[in-house]
Amino acid sequence: MAEAKRIRDVFGKGRAALMPYFTVGYPDYEISLNVIEACVEAGADLMELGMSFSDPLADGPTIQHSTQVALENGITVKHCLNAVADLRSRGIEIPLLLMGYINPILAYGLEKFVRDAARAGASGFIVPDLPPDEAGEMRSLCKHYDLDMVFLLAPNSSDERIQFVTELSSGFVYLVSVLGITGERDALPVELAEFLSRVRSQTEKPLAVGFGISTPDQAAVVGEIADGVIVGSALIKAVGQADQPVDAARKFVAELKRALV
């Protein structure tokens, strides 16, 4: 099994780190692993592996569709943990973060989930509906198993909230570019630079921006002001529309990567 790189080690290299999101099990399990591997080959610095849930409150139609397909394919939390181990066995060393909602994790068993994720080779977690105020047990387990717990900040966060969340988030801080759900957007919010500046004044941890980044040009703009760029819906759309989904993923991620260099 490949030795995973630490999340913090992929930032601070003179350009923004690229973190694609992809749903495990879409359009099926094997193709999803091949897509993720192609993203890594094309230059992804980290990967966010989506764990399907029937009520993904932070996700827009594109990711919701991919997770519904995965659920219909029978994909479970266990399959997502197996995906991490399978990707490590293929020699993938970049950080792999599991992104999912708290209910399936609790159903699996919180301690068992964190332990099994560590054994599989995961690097950390993003759980959008688990606020840091309520994440004490999971944070303690992550510390025990040497995994990162990444928390999210929205543009309407107060300075007090920014300070609280950035102190507890490890690996990096996930900045939601807009209020609302994931999905492609025609333009980046004009307030994004000011939001980043507010958070930057409170922490030295890397800041990665997600939600609504759809094109290489948008990625380049975000990459000028953030430490990381997260792209999910646009990648899933490119894969879903392609006759050769793995090739489409490789091409799309390579274009994003070129925009960040």
Give catalytic residues, as residue numbers: 48, 59
Distance CA 164, CA 4 (A): 28
DSSP state of 29: H
Q: Strand 96-99 and strand 47-50: pairing?
A: parallel
Q: Strand 152-153 and strand 47-50: pairing?
A: unpaired
Residues in the chain: 261
With a CB cutoff of 8 Å and minimum separation 6, the contacts of 163 are 202
Strand order in the sheet with 148-150: 148-150, 124-126, 96-99, 47-50, 17-23, 228-231, 207-210, 173-176, 152-153
H-type helices in the chain, by residue range?
A: 29-41, 61-72, 77-89, 102-108, 110-120, 136-145, 159-168, 192-200, 216-225, 233-240, 245-260
180: left (phi over 0), alpha (psi -120 to 50) or beta: left
